[in-house]
Amino acid sequence: MRTASRLLRLDAFDRCPVIDVMVERPSGCRVPGALVHRVSQLDRDRDVTLVDGLPVTSVARTLCDLGAVATDDEVEQALDEALRRGYSLRWISDTLSRLHRSGPSGTHSLQRVLALPDRSGALPGSWRERVTQRMLAERDLPPIVRQFEIKVDDRVIARPDLAVVEARVGIEFHSKRWHSGPRRERLDLRRHLAVEQAGWELVYLNAEDHQNPDAAAASVLEVLIPRLAT
């Protein structure tokens, strides 16, 4: 569960201090300092892998179990990270179908996440990108497209995280990790100027904007409304 997510380096659990141990019923195993979870089925051929020599539930099995101890948002964040790293959605869905049952179970969370209507389309480049899109979608804006390619003469000059195409507005989530340092700043400026020359405008949001959704939405609307009116 959470420990497996951390060992598998799934998003949202990289610093989780909880130690989860999974055993098959009717085992009475106790592990000091750990939370022991007893499950009715654990297929060691299909559901267990090794990480640094430690037996760990597979990515698909971990995502199915995670909802028993984590929120839907955390499960979705871990799922997005798994898909970005190339794990098969079909494998994850097949594992969910095999394990899902009525009653208390972590599989219900993954089932709800996979059923979300806005999960279609391009996979977001980060969790913040998905959060930003949902935050803005609540404001009755025109359709928002993920990873839209802005082109000039068939050459891609920018691929903003989100875009309101009819207004020619791109929305970017900036973080210090990816947008800091003199070289990165020069590249960002060059791209920004190219986008402006192509008739687009970029709006930048950061982590603080997610703490104040109204202010973030207002900053986007301030750019959007005049452009939609023209």
Q: Which of 88, 116, 144 is the last residue of a domain?
A: 116
Q: What are the two backbone dihedrals, phi and then psi, of residue 97, each rounded to the nearest 5 degrees?
A: -60, -35
Residue 212, domain CATH: 3.40.960.10
Q: What's the token pair of residue 93?
A: 């869905």
Same domain assignment for residues 61 and 144? no
pLDDT at site 124 = 87
Same domain assignment for residues 132 and 109? no
111 in a structural domain: yes
Q: Which DSSP symbol is given to 50?
A: E
Q: Which DSSP symbol is given to 195?
A: H
How far apart are alpha carbons 213 and 173 in whole angstroms? Answer: 13
- Whether the pTM exceeds 0.85: the reply is no
Question: Radius of gyration over alpha carbons of the chain, in Å?
Answer: 21
pLDDT digits (tens, 9 = 90+) for 39-73: 777 888 999 999 999 889 999 999 999 998 899 99
Same domain assignment for residues 79 and 171? no
The residue that leads in pLDDT, 116 or 133, is: 116
Q: Which of 116, 142, 165 is the last residue of a domain?
A: 116
pLDDT digits (tens, 9 = 90+) for 1-29: 888 888 899 988 877 787 887 777 766 67
The average pLDDT across 121-128 equals 84
Inter-residue contact 66 to 12 (CB < 8 Å): no
175 has pLDDT over 60? no
Inter-residue contact 145 to 129 (CB < 8 Å): no
Burial of 226 (0-12, 13-18, 19+ CB in 10 A): exposed
Residue type at 1 in one-letter notation: M
Query: How many folded domains does the chain comprise?
Result: 2
Inter-residue contact 201 to 168 (CB < 8 Å): yes
122 in a structural domain: no
